[in-house]
């Protein structure tokens, strides 16, 4: 990665009514109905935010995770401001990822090296053992560990994981090289859907593409210059299509 940047689980105890319904039972039933109504309201509140990333190579529909609220809310804010519209996927590596979100890429001349722009803030890392770099993962780029040991994220630059599928033997070899074990969520994902396992818990994953995975492949295969920037600009427009 670029050294510069790179359900509610409803627990509802059923009411078992014994004998004829009396006032106490009616009261309990009413309370249960109120709890059910409140649960439905909470479930609606937890609905995930959906976004549309439109590009010259196709559209991608993605969901933003509620488990990473700081990244989610920041992305929503920028999208509503139109911050991403007209920006480029300025760094693409087939078999790895496609990266964008640099404000300096808007109307950037051909051949210009990009990847250092962004707002004047970072976002604290939000790692989660279940949010990993499977194919389609939406993750935040960041500065390197040497200047950013807390792994704080860029305020705007993000990437979408592509990667590859792995065999059990390949994952085992990777574990040996990394000196750490992969959890079952990681194993299941990387042996079926594919992705980039060595980035897990190094960069915050805050969403995933749920429609248009083939668009990632198209962008990643674009002809590019020595900076990994596509020769033909791949512009994006980001819109909120459903919000909690």
pLDDT beyond 90 at 23? no
0.75 cut: is pTM over it? yes
pLDDT tens digit string along 86-139?
999 999 999 999 999 999 999 999 999 999 999 999 999 999 999 999 999 999
Domains for the chain: give ranges and CATH numbers.
48-242 (2.40.100.10)
HEC profile of the chain: CCCCCCCCCCCCCCCCCCCCCCHHHHHHHHHHHHHHHHHHHHHHHCCCEEEEEEECCEEEEEEECCCCHHHHHHHHHHHHHCCCCCCEEEEEECCCEEEECCHHHCCCCCCCCCCCCCCCCEECCCCCCCCCCECCEEEEEECCCCCCCCCCEEEEEEEEECCECCCHHHHHHHHHHHCCCCCHHHHHHHHHCCECHHHCCCCCEEEEEEECHHHHHHHHCCCECCCCCECCCCEEEEEEEECC
pLDDT tens digit string along 46-63?
788 999 999 999 999 999
Report residue 177 as tokens.
């090289």
Of 40-44, 166-170, 223-227, the poorest mean pLDDT is in: 40-44
The number of CA neighbours under 13 Å toward the Cβ of 223 is 2
Give residue for tokens 């722009």: 117
Give the residue from 97, 95, 67, 88 showing the smallest Cα distance to 205. Answer: 67
Q: Which residues pair with 53 in a beta bridge?
A: 60, 238
**CA–CA distance, 127 with 106 (Å, rounded to integer):** 30
| Average pLDDT over the chain, rounded to an integer | 86
pLDDT beyond 60 at 41? no
If pLDDT is split at 50, 70 and 90, which confidence band does 242 have? confident
pLDDT tens digit string along 165-223?
999 999 999 999 999 999 999 999 999 999 999 999 999 999 999 999 999 999 999 99
**CA–CA distance, 50 with 15 (Å, rounded to integer):** 37
pLDDT for 46:
73
CA distance to 2, 15, 39, 205, per residue, from 153 (Å)? 13, 47, 34, 10
- In this structure, the number of other CB atoms found within 10 A of the CB of residue 174 comes to 15
Give, rounded to a whole angstrom, the gap between the first and last alpha carbons of the chain: 32
Give the residue from 131, 204, 199, 129 showing the smallest Cα distance to 163. Answer: 199
pLDDT beyond 70 at 159? yes
């Amino acid at each position: 990665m670029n050294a510069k940047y790179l359900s509610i689980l409803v627990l509802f105890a059923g009411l078992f009514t014994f004998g004829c319904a009396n006032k106490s039972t009616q009261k309990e039933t009413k309370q249960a109905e109120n709890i059910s109504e409140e649960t439905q309201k909470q479930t609606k509140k937890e609905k995930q935010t959906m976004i549309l990333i439109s590009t010259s190579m196709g559209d991608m529909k993605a969901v933003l995770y509620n488990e990473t609220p700081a990244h989610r809310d920041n992305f929503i804010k920028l999208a509503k401001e139109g911050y991403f519209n007209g920006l480029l996927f300025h760094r693409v590596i087939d078999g790895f990822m496609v990266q964008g979100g640099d404000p300096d890429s808007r109307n950037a001349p051909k051949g210009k090296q990009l990847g250092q722009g962004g707002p004047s803030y970072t976002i604290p890392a939000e790692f989660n053992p279940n949010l990993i770099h499977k194919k389609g993962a939406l993750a935040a780029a960041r500065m390197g560990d040497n200047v950013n040991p807390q792994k704080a994220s860029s305020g705007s630059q993000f990437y979408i994981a592509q990667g590859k599928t792995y065999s059990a033997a390949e994952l085992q070899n990777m574990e040996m090289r990394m000196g750490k074990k992969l959890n079952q969520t990681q194993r299941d994902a990387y042996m079926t859907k594919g992705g980039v396992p060595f980035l897990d818990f190094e960069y915050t994953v805050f969403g995933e593409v749920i429609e248009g995975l083939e668009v990632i492949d198209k962008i990643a295969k674009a002809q590019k210059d020595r900076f990994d920037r596509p020769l033909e600009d791949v512009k994006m427009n980001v819109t909120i299509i459903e919000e909690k």
